[in-house]
Amino acid sequence: MRTHYIRILLIVLIKTLLESGLRVTSAAGLPTLNPSPPTRARRSSLLAALCVTVTVACGCKADPATRQQPSSPAPAPRVVVLGIDAGTWDLLDGFIARGLLPNLAKLRSEGASGKLQSSEASSSPVIWTSIATGKTPEKHGITWFVRFPDGPGKPRAVDRTQRTSRTLWNILGDKGLDVAVVGWYVTWPAEQVNGRLVSDIAHYGDIDGESFPPYCLSTLAPVAESEAVAAMPAFMDFVYDPARATAGEAAQPSLDFLVYDRFVRSYSRDLFYVRATEALLNDGPLPEVLFLYLRGTDDVQHGFWKFMDPKPFGDVPPDQVEKFGKVIERYWSWIDARVGEILAHYKEPPLVLVMSDHGAGPAVGSAAVTEHRYLHLSGAHRSQGILLASGPGVRKGAVIEGASVYDVAPTLLHYLGYAVGDDMDGHALTGFFEPAIAERPVEHVATYETAAAPPPGSSATAAPRPGAAVDQKQLEHLRSLGYIE
Ligand SMILES: [Zn+2]
């Protein structure tokens, strides 16, 4: 949207220049001005307008003056880290075989893949922070969805200031790499990075600390729920009535509530971060390392599993199987298409890492939902997610055994030629790579938590509050997931 706006500005500006009698040439793609009439004043005002336009176009770039210079031992390809919640090969293998995920299929067939062992099967913010730090919750400080700084019974969502360990984007930024981080769990309030960061609650819109640099999202509006409703026919055959979309006290929450809770909110959130990523990728040089996290795949598996796979449940009406049976596969197809669009920005193939914090399966047996207000949910977490690597240096067809969420950070550090922290809890998965990388000795450093680079949570600056309305939305979401009373 923002790029579109910038394009219009540029078109209007160039048109104005042409109409004003200035000659515009397009050497190197940039308009140059013939130093002939009209007047100097007119010309400088046009130049000022051009500068304003260019400034808007560069609005999300890190300030080059404060950027650190790369200290990488050797030039490395760009890296795209895609965190996709609750992916399981149990489903994706079938979707790939049916041709529903062409982009992920290509990455998989040209790369290496395996299962990723989760640390704790139900706590996504904890696990995504372990993936980003290579450390256990005790070390990185994010141990649950909520905390109680205002006393018992008054939960607040965890935020970045509770994190006590440095992440991949902190470490790589310190090495001078240009990083971009979009929507990753527990990144609000946005911290200063060597690049750009869009925090994980930026989709609520207009809050303090939503991004770094702070003006990064100035033209990116939250996605309206109406947009998700308009997209619904591509995912399900259901006439949605928002007036009925409340949990209520009925024995079973309405289907409208299910659709609101598990599709409308999820789709709008993911679409916001996809747009934020597109805006960043359209805005100046591609980041050297991009981190993008998308969560809707977990929401839809929780909500729509029994319609896709009614057998273990036994009592799913056939008309509902008809209506909702394809939501999960279509959501993955939608995600796959977005992955394709994002990767299309890269002329040289980047290293792509795709991972999930845990897997998913039917909520039956010990995972069955028994509590009244979660009766609309039918999918549950499983302990193994997915890991996929593709791109320069990756050994095609390699199958990775025994990988855990703690291994992602050490593996990426080793790939890029940096040492692994001895205080990290995983190890570099060298089996992923071709001999030049696999056989390179893994270097070690005692820790990246140094006095010169204190952990983000130790900052003396107080965290801003997101405001009561956003607090409420976050807590409502956590309640709907069943994590808090
Ligand atoms: Zn998760």
C-beta separation of 68 from 194 below 8 A? yes
Q: Could you tell me if residue 133 is inside a domain?
A: yes
Query: Does residue 67 belong to any structural domain of this protein?
Result: no
pLDDT for the residue 369: 83
Count of structural domains within the chain: 2
* Cis bond before residue 38 (omega within 30° of 0): yes
CATH number at 192 reads: 3.40.720.10
CA dihedral in degrees (246, 251, 255, 261; nearest 10)? 50
In a domain? residue 72? no
Q: Are residues 50 and 85 in the same domain?
A: no
| pLDDT for res 469 | 65
CA 137 to ligand 1 centroid distance, Å: 15
Q: Please work out, in degrees rounded to the nearest 5, the angle formed at the alpha carbon of residue 69 by the alpha carbons of 353 and 391.
A: 20
What's the CA gap between 140 and 152, in Å, rounded?
23
CA of 183 to the centre of ligand 1 (A): 13
Same structural domain for residues 53 and 163? no
Residues 46 and 83 in one domain: no
Same domain, 477 and 382: yes
Centre of ligand 1 from the C-alpha of residue 304, in Å:
16
Same domain, 390 and 279: yes
20 phi and psi, to 5 degrees?
A: -80, 0
CA atoms within 13 A of residue 87's CA, in its CB half-sphere: 31
- Residue 73 domain-assigned (yes or no): no
68 part of a folded domain: no
Ligand 1 centre to CA of 126 (Å) is: 9
| Structure confidence at residue 433 (pLDDT) | 96
Question: Can you list the positions of beta strands (E) in 407-456?
Answer: 420-421, 444-445
Give the predicted TM-score (pTM) of the model.
0.82
| C-alpha 436 – ligand 1 centre gap (Å) | 34
- Backbone angles phi and psi of 465, in degrees to 5: -90, 140
Whether 181 and 236 map to the same domain: the answer is yes
| 32 and 83 inside one domain | no
CA distances from 483 to 193, 265, 298, 346 (A): 31, 17, 14, 39
Tell me, in angstroms, the distance from the centre of ligand 1 to residue 197's CA: 21
158 neighbors 186 (Cβ within 8 angstroms): yes
Residue 198 burial (C-beta neighbours within 10 Å; 0-12, 13-18, 19+) = buried
* Separation of CA 284 and ligand 1 centre (Å): 32
Ligand 1 centroid – CA 121 distance (Å): 8
The pLDDT of residue 123: 87
Q: 386 CA distance to ligand 1 centroid (A)?
A: 12
Distance 341 CA to ligand 1 centre (A): 24
Distance 343 CA to ligand 1 centre (A): 23
**Are 8 and 105 within one domain?**
no
Cα-trace Rg, the chain: 24
My answer on whether 89 and 229 are in the same domain is yes
Measured in Å, residue 39 CA sits from the centre of ligand 1 at 61
- Nearest-5° Cα angle at 147, 364 to 139: 90
Q: From ligand 1's centre to the CA of 148, what distance in Å?
A: 22
For residue 298, how far is its CA from the centre of ligand 1 (angstroms)? 6
Ligand 1: centre distance to CA 358 (Å):
6
pLDDT value at position 143? Answer: 87
Task: With respect to residue 64, please indicate whether it lies within any of the assigned structural domains.
Answer: no
Residue 264, both tokens? 């409308």
User: How many Å lie between the centroid of ligand 1 and the Cα of residue 377?
Assistant: 15
Residue numbers of the domain that contains 43: 2-57
| Cα–Cα distance for residue pair 298/360, rounded to 1 Å | 8
Q: How far is the CA of 200 from the centre of ligand 1 (A)?
A: 14
Which residue numbers in the chain have pLDDT < 50? 1-58, 65, 458-462
Same domain, 89 and 236: yes
What's the gap in Å between 332 CA and the centre of ligand 1?
15
Q: 121 vs 89, 192, 380, CA distance in Å?
A: 16, 31, 9
421 in the same domain as 353:
yes
**Is 45 exposed, middle or buried (CB count within 10 Å of its CB: 0-12, 13-18, 19+)?**
exposed
Q: How far is CA 180 from the centre of its chain?
A: 10
83 and 52 in a common domain: no
